Amino acid sequence: MSRTLCSALPATRTRTGSVTVEGWIHRRRQLATVTFVVIRDRSGLAQVVVTDPLVREQVSTLPEETVVRVTGTPIGSEKAPGGVEIIDPTVQPLTAPSEPPPIELWRPGLGVTLPTALDHAAITWRHPTRQAVWKIAAASMTGFRRHLDSAGFTEVTTPKIVGQSTESGANVFPLDYFGATAYLAQSPQLYKQILTGVFERVYEVGPVFRAEPHDTARHLAEYVSLDVEFGFIRDHRDVLAQLRDALAAMVDTINEKAGAAVETVGAQLPSIPEQIPIIHFREAIELVGAAPTEPDLTPEHERFLGAWAKSRFDSDFLAVEGYPAAKRPFYTHPQPSDPRWTNSFDLLFRGLELVTGGQRLHNHADYLAALAARGEDPAEYAPYLEAMRHGMPPHGGFAIGLERWVARLTEADNIRQATLFPRDLHRLRP
Amino acid sequence: MSRTLCSALPATRTRTGSVTVEGWIHRRRQLATVTFVVIRDRSGLAQVVVTDPLVREQVSTLPEETVVRVTGTPIGSEKAPGGVEIIDPTVQPLTAPSEPPPIELWRPGLGVTLPTALDHAAITWRHPTRQAVWKIAAASMTGFRRHLDSAGFTEVTTPKIVGQSTESGANVFPLDYFGATAYLAQSPQLYKQILTGVFERVYEVGPVFRAEPHDTARHLAEYVSLDVEFGFIRDHRDVLAQLRDALAAMVDTINEKAGAAVETVGAQLPSIPEQIPIIHFREAIELVGAAPTEPDLTPEHERFLGAWAKSRFDSDFLAVEGYPAAKRPFYTHPQPSDPRWTNSFDLLFRGLELVTGGQRLHNHADYLAALAARGEDPAEYAPYLEAMRHGMPPHGGFAIGLERWVARLTEADNIRQATLFPRDLHRLRP
């Protein structure tokens, strides 16, 4: 008999005959004359009611997390999930009985500390509240690609083993590459720019690596970067508009594909304004009451600005444009009217920096000047500069950190909760 | 004036007034009284006819690959691409004039050796025949995800920095991880199995790393793996059926999104049979005339079998199932009727191994026995074995090497031609 997913059980009410579900024994409750078994599959939960003494005895040997096939009769029941439960079942274990798991997955919450949850990630991700977090992440990736595919972007994959560090020598992981020294890519920045010279519009969803020596709630040594770069722009505001549309598609796709997950974790999805409000860095510094010479915003400043955007524009998002050139990478395009500032932005989401983006330099001579000003050797950037030497359109782009986005959406205390198998200063396993 | 893509020019024929295109100067031909300029953008080519002496003089200072905006009048022309050319143009350089590129991109072929093409990848990918190869790759990834999204799979991202090598200690890149030794993941195998215990059905598109000491036309040190794993299967033939559907979606999406690219490179897309023909390893060895004790197929054997499948079944694909246990990883499920063989397969595509897949062990005790038989320490696999200890469904999966697939489709001599920035024994740049 073909398998019915738990979520499809209500649709079986009008049929006669039996159904088969397959999944994990999520919870057993053995009462005096009846045993309730809750089955968990990828779609949700279903309740099975066992009264036959022989089947009850069999089920008593099958601990939670045993994988089973259950065939029985679906009937309406007000108390069961979806209004349908299965009675008169036969139960077939598909795997040898499980050992009781280290975490009681049937409880509403995990009830363990973060380190314990991470140590047992192979099991804790089975918990419905954990699964829901990742389903929001997966839908975010799908939505990101949907927008870019529809906007004429080409997906690219760039090397993660690179011969030079992307932007500076700091915080890179070196590795032995057949006797030479190579590095793990900190971002696809240089490659995505090169490829803008090929396909005009490119995106990549892939891992990036930062040898972050900080043990904080918001840093990971490896994370997923949603990268975009495209040409024939006027300035960074075209980049911000594209980012706006990508975020809108991500939220729409979360609603469409992970609506139940959003409910499970109680996430408040943002509405994305048609125009994301923009404030210049200079004005932002004034607004938060910092010294005009301050070169960057602190997390406290960002929180303040987030609250300000919410009350002033009813927006969860605020773009801060014009960051000082000194705090931006060498490839950042200056603000034409005043080169102390740049055509770049940070996007704050609920008072936290979510995205960095902007316009890049596109003239070869400007690259040589920018590298010289920082005392960097152009030879280190030879293939990148070759692209610039032979005609690059005005271009720009941005990168969204997937885990940071999901952590903020789900109000996770720690970014590790939004990562399937986080990597940090102390954690290499699982 | 808003931009018109070159491919959309034919649709402008019925309009009056002018159009603006933006792109690269692909080719200039300066004749006695007229200069022809071919513009290349992400959609294709457009011809611009310059007769005004001042504009001709301007264009003479703009070498090939200079990025320009051209505004002019579209008129029908039988000789122009798409049947439309632009006359009476004004030309605005968007970037300082390019230096002439190291490769004449306007010629029909690259006309350089592979090492030269790879050294200048930043430029050579701009060639229409090269772009076409990657567009087939990008459409393949889109099609792969389309099928899996529609079949209830969850996209996952697994760590590329791992605390243990995936299957054996050979051919891994070690790296210094905050003072500890870590490795680059050779595959997401162990993680995708763990996650089958969470989401039942998972896939990942991501980089994998092999410290291949071989300098051949078919090995890369880093490549893109299209990974699938799913639970509640009967055996490896369910895996093969899922693979068949994924390949069909990939071919459909190439046709839909990259039809012009297929024409450009002259690729012959395969038709995917409803049922991929299957031969048992034992019979395959007999068919190729090798000794019955032979533990593996050679490339010559695979070519022979590919030709056999073509003539016998008119199929570009042949699945060889039942590979000897000794040649398969420890997690491979034995063939129930005879454990010398396994429930695994290789898929040959036009006589070349394209995919390895199969059913995995799912009982914890079977893992302990399999590791013991190979003298491996179960402690090395603790988080993986934890998933198995607490209830795993019968499951299996496969992995397609993106570059190998594209190289075979486009009949590339060398897999490096199907990789944006290949990594091999000698190549770390660009």
A362-385 tens-digit pLDDT:
999 999 999 999 999 999 899 999
Residue A427 lies in a domain: no
CATH code assigned at A29: 2.40.50.140
A198 chain-B contacts, CB cut-off 8 A: 125-126, 131, 134
Distance CA B270, CA B285 (A): 26
CB-CB under 8 Å, A394 with B131: no
Q: Are A70 and A90 contacting, i.e. CB atoms less than 8 angstroms apart?
A: yes
Q: Which residue of A has its CA nearest to B213?
A: A178
Mean pLDDT of the region A319-331? 94
A389 chain-B contacts, CB cut-off 8 A: 98-99
Q: Which has the minimum average pLDDT: A88-92, A153-157, A175-179, B147-151?
A: A175-179
B134 chain-A contacts, CB cut-off 8 A: 154, 156, 198-199
Q: Are A222 and A240 contacting, i.e. CB atoms less than 8 angstroms apart?
A: no
pLDDT (0 to 100) of residue A14:
62
**Are residues A201 and A137 located together in one domain of the fold?**
yes
Q: Which residue among A67, A99, A174 places its CB closest to the CB of B176?
A: A174
**Are residues A251 and A367 located together in one domain of the fold?**
yes
**Are residues B59 and B200 located together in one domain of the fold?**
no
Helix, coil or strand: residue B31: coil
**Are residues A197 and A257 located together in one domain of the fold?**
yes
Q: Where on the phi/psi map is residue A371: left (φ > 0), alpha (ψ -120 to 50), or beta?
A: alpha
**Are residues A87 and A173 located together in one domain of the fold?**
no
**Are residues B127 and B20 located together in one domain of the fold?**
no
CB-CB under 8 Å, A99 with B390: yes
Q: Which residue among A131, A205, A232 places its CB closest to the CB of B22?
A: A232
Q: Which residue of A has its CA nearest to B190?
A: A430
CB-CB under 8 Å, B135 with A391: no
Number of structural domains in chain A: 2
Residue A240 lies in a domain: yes
Residue A202 lies in a domain: yes
CA distance B46 to chain A (A): 16
Q: What is the largest CA-CA distance in chain A?
A: 84
> Which residues are bridge partners to B67 per DSSP?
B24
- CA B404, B406, B408, B414 torsion-angle sign: negative
Residue B270 lies in a domain: yes
Q: Where on the phi/psi map is residue A386: left (φ > 0), alpha (ψ -120 to 50), or beta?
A: alpha
A184 chain-B contacts, CB cut-off 8 A: 161, 175
Residue A329 lies in a domain: yes
Distance CA A38, CA A47 (A): 4
CA distance A393 to chain B (A): 6
CA distance A370 to chain B (A): 16
Q: Which residue among B149, B174, B390 places its CB closest to the CB of A98?
A: B390
**Are residues A43 and A165 located together in one domain of the fold?**
no
Amino acid letter, residue A340:
R
Which positions of A make up the binding site for ATP? 210-212, 218-220, 353, 401-404
CB-CB under 8 Å, A131 with B198: yes
Q: Which residue among B102, B158, B222 places its CB closest to the CB of A159?
A: B222
The DSSP bridge pattern shows strands A201-209 and A154-155 to be: parallel
> Whose CA is closest to B86, among B39, B42, B27?
B39
CB-CB under 8 Å, A101 with B390: yes
CATH code assigned at A236: 3.30.930.10
> Which residues are bridge partners to A231 per DSSP?
A395
DSSP A43: T
Residue A356 lies in a domain: yes
**Are residues A135 and A73 located together in one domain of the fold?**
no
Q: Which residue of A has its CA nearest to B155?
A: A138
CB-CB under 8 Å, B178 with A211: yes
pLDDT value at A423 more than 90: yes
**Are residues A70 and A159 located together in one domain of the fold?**
no
CA distance B415 to chain A (A): 15
B43 chain-A contacts, CB cut-off 8 A: 152
Q: Which residue among B122, B142, B364 places its CB closest to the CB of A386?
A: B122
Domain boundary among B51, B73, B93: B93
pLDDT (0 to 100) of residue A213:
86
A99 chain-B contacts, CB cut-off 8 A: 364, 389-390
Domain boundary among B40, B75, B93: B93
B269 annotated ligand binder: no
Q: Are A197 and A368 contacting, i.e. CB atoms less than 8 angstroms apart?
A: no
pLDDT value at A169 more than 70: no
Interface probe, candidates B116, B233, B428, chain A, greatest A C-beta count within 10 A: B428
Mean pLDDT of the region A157-174? 83
Q: How many CB atoms lie within 10 A of CB A49?
A: 18
B259 annotated ligand binder: no
pLDDT (0 to 100) of residue A1:
67
pLDDT value at A414 more than 90: yes
Interface probe, candidates B42, B165, B214, chain A, greatest A C-beta count within 10 A: B42
**Are residues A57 and A179 located together in one domain of the fold?**
no
pLDDT (0 to 100) of residue B306:
97
B426 annotated ligand binder: no
Which residue segment(s) compose the domain that A75 sits in? 6-93
Q: Which residue of B has its CA nearest to A222?
A: B159
B41 chain-A contacts, CB cut-off 8 A: 200
* Tokens describing residue B300: 């010559």
Mean pLDDT of the region A33-39? 97
Q: What is the pLDDT of residues A107-138, one digit of tens each?
A: 999 999 999 999 999 999 999 999 999 999 99
Residue B375 lies in a domain: yes
Distance CA B315, CA B309 (A): 6
Distance CA A419, CA A401 (A): 11
pLDDT (0 to 100) of residue A215:
85
CB-CB under 8 Å, A162 with B95: no
pLDDT (0 to 100) of residue A165:
67
**Are residues B291 and B391 located together in one domain of the fold?**
yes
B95 chain-A contacts, CB cut-off 8 A: 362-363, 391-394
Residue B424 lies in a domain: no
The DSSP string of A90-113 is EEEESSSPPPPPSS-TTSSS--S-
- CA A378, A384, A387, A391 torsion-angle sign: negative
> Whose CA is closest to A19, among A80, A81, A59, A69?
A69
pLDDT (0 to 100) of residue B169:
61
**Are residues A20 and A168 located together in one domain of the fold?**
no
Interface probe, candidates B41, B157, B160, B415, chain A, greatest A C-beta count within 10 A: B157
CB-CB under 8 Å, A198 with B125: yes
ipTM score of the complex? 0.96
CB-CB under 8 Å, A177 with B176: no
DSSP A425: T
Distance CA A286, CA A411 (A): 29
Domain boundary among B93, B111, B143: B93
CB-CB under 8 Å, A200 with B402: no
SS (H, E, C) A306-327: HHHHHHHHCCCEEEEECCEHHH
Q: What is the pLDDT of residues B95-149, one digit of tens each?
A: 998 888 999 999 999 999 999 999 999 999 999 999 999 999 999 999 999 999 9
Give the model's confidence band at A15: pLDDT under 50 very low, under 70 low, under 90 confident, else very high: low
CB-CB under 8 Å, A421 with B94: no
Q: Which residue of B has its CA nearest to A195?
A: B122
Mean pLDDT of the region A31-52? 97
pLDDT (0 to 100) of residue A79:
84
End-to-end CA distance of chain B: 37
Q: What percent of chain A has a predicted confidence (pLDDT) above 70?
A: 98
Give, for all 430 residues of chain B, the pLDDT tens digit: 689 999 999 887 666 689 999 999 999 999 999 999 999 999 999 999 999 999 999 999 999 999 999 999 999 988 888 889 999 999 999 999 888 899 999 999 999 999 999 999 999 999 999 999 999 999 999 999 999 999 999 999 999 999 876 665 678 999 999 999 999 999 999 999 999 999 999 999 999 999 988 888 888 999 999 999 999 999 999 999 999 999 999 999 999 999 999 999 999 999 999 999 999 999 999 999 999 999 999 999 999 999 999 999 999 999 999 999 988 999 999 999 999 999 999 999 999 999 999 999 999 999 999 999 999 999 989 999 999 999 999 999 999 999 999 999 999 999 999 999 999 999 999 9
Q: What is the pLDDT of residues B195-226, one digit of tens each?
A: 999 999 999 999 999 998 888 888 899 999 99
A3 chain-B contacts, CB cut-off 8 A: 232
